[in-house]
C-alpha cells in the first residue's frame, strides 16, 4: 500500500486538492508511461518570474504524435486524453522520467510556486545548460571533441548502451555531446521550416555525414488531428498499444467504434 505523505503548509492557495497518496488510477497511468518509450524532443524553461518558474516540453508519444506538456501550477498536455480532463501518461512521464520530480509531487494535479521551484531545482539540466557547461561556443572546443559515452540520452532519458550496438551520434560542430541516432531523427523531424537542423544541446548547425543530414532533414507531417507525427521517421506503426489498458475499457471503446482491429487482430487507433 502506498505510504501517505503529509500535506505541506501552503503559502498560497492550491488549485487542486493535495493527494496524500497516489491513487490506483494514477499508478496505472504511470506504469504505462514508464514501460513505453517516449522522446523529450525539446525543453524550454521560463524563468522570467524566478518565484514561479515553468517549463514547456515537446514530447513524442508512443504513436509518434508530438505533444506539448506545460509544467505550471496546473500541468497540462494537449493530447486527446488530457484534453478530456484525464491525467495522461505524458505528464506522468515528464514529471517522473524527464524532470525526476520528488516522489510525493509526481502524482499531484497542481503545484504551488514553491513546489515548482523545488521540481526545477532538482531536475536534470536543460540540454542548452549541458552544452554551456561543456564549453560550447568556446573557440578551443570547436574541433568537435566527443564527450564520453556515459549517462543518458537527453531525448529519451535512457542510458547509453554502446555495447548493444545502438547507433549514437554527437555534435561535431561544437559541444561534442552524445545523443541516440533515432532520437536525433525525432528531434530533427519536429524542426519544421527553416531548413537547418541544429544540435539539441547548443543549437549550432548540425554537422554530419551527407546521408545522415539528408535523413534527419525530413519533416514530420501533421496528421488529421493537427499533431506533428514522426512515426515514419522511426518506423513506428502509429498505432496505440492497448495491452496495458483495462480490458473492460478497451471492449467498450471497441463497441463504440472508437478503436478497431487491424488485419492481424491487433487493436489500432487513428491517433
Q: What is the CATH number of the domain that holds 144?
A: 3.30.40.10
> Do 30 and 115 have their domain in common?
yes
Q: pLDDT (tens digit, 9 = 90+) per residue, 173-216? A: 788 889 998 888 877 776 655 556 788 888 887 776 444 444 43
> Do 12 and 105 have their domain in common?
yes
| Mean predicted confidence (pLDDT) in 66-84 | 94
Give the torsion sign (CA, 149, 151, 155, 160). Answer: positive
In a domain, 269, yes or no: no
> Do 11 and 107 have their domain in common?
yes
In a domain, 267, yes or no: no
> Do 134 and 168 have their domain in common?
yes
| Mean predicted confidence (pLDDT) in 119-136 | 72
Of 208, 211, 144, give the one whose Cα is nearest residue 177: 144
In a domain, 244, yes or no: yes
CB 233 within 8 A of CB 186: yes
- Residues 28 and 154: their CA atoms lie apart, in Å, by 25
> Do 49 and 117 have their domain in common?
yes
> Do 137 and 114 have their domain in common?
no
> Do 85 and 8 have their domain in common?
yes
CB 59 within 8 A of CB 93: yes
CB 28 within 8 A of CB 246: yes
pLDDT for position 258: 57
Q: What's the distance, Cα to Cα, between the start and end of the chain in Å?
A: 35
Q: Which residues contact 258 (CB under 8 A, 6 or more apart)?
A: 269
Q: How many domains does the chain have?
A: 2
CB 12 within 8 A of CB 110: no
In a domain, 178, yes or no: yes
> Do 245 and 141 have their domain in common?
no
pLDDT for position 91: 97
> Do 44 and 22 have their domain in common?
yes
Range of the structural domain that residue 193 is part of: 129-216
| Mean predicted confidence (pLDDT) in 12-32 | 92
> Do 36 and 141 have their domain in common?
no
Higher-confidence residue of 110 and 138: namely: 110
pLDDT for position 222: 73
144, pLDDT greater than 50: no
Reported pTM: 0.66
Higher-confidence residue of 25 and 62: namely: 25
Amino acid at each position: 500500500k502506498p505510504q501517505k505523505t503529509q500535506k505541506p503548509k501552503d503559502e498560497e492557495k492550491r488549485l487542486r486538492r493535495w493527494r496524500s497518496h497516489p491513487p490506483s488510477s494514477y499508478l496505472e497511468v504511470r506504469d504505462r508511461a514508464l514501460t513505453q518509450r517516449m522522446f523529450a524532443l525539446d525543453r524550454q524553461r521560463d524563468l522570467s518570474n524566478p518565484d514561479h518558474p515553468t517549463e514547456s516540453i515537446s514530447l513524442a508519444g508512443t504513436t509518434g504524435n508530438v505533444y506539448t506538456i506545460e509544467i505550471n501550477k496546473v500541468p497540462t498536455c494537449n493530447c486527446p486524453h488530457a484534453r478530456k480532463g484525464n491525467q495522461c501518461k505524458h505528464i506522468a512521464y515528464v514529471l517522473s522520467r524527464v524532470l525526476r520530480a520528488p516522489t510525493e509531487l509526481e502524482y499531484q494535479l497542481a503545484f504551488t510556486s514553491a513546489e515548482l521551484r523545488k521540481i526545477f531545482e532538482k531536475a536534470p539540466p536543460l540540454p542548452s545548460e549541458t552544452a554551456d557547461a561543456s564549453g560550447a561556443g568556446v573557440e578551443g572546443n570547436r574541433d568537435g571533441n566527443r564527450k564520453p559515452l556515459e549517462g543518458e540520452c537527453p531525448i529519451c532519458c535512457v542510458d547509453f548502451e554502446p555495447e548493444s550496438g545502438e547507433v549514437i551520434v554527437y555534435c561535431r560542430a561544437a559541444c561534442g555531446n552524445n545523443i541516440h541516432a533515432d532520437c536525433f531523427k525525432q528531434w530533427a523531424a519536429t524542426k519544421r521550416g527553416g531548413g537547418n537542423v541544429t544540435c539539441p544541446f547548443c543549437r549550432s548547425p548540425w554537422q554530419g555525414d551527407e546521408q545522415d543530414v539528408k535523413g534527419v532533414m525530413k519533416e514530420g507531417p501533421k496528421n488529421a488531428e493537427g499533431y506533428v507525427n514522426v512515426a515514419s521517421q522511426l518506423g513506428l506503426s502509429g498505432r496505440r498499444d492497448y495491452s496495458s489498458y483495462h480490458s473492460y475499457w478497451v471492449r467498450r471503446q471497441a463497441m463504440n467504434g472508437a478503436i478497431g482491429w487491424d488485419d492481424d487482430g491487433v487493436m489500432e487507433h487513428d491517433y
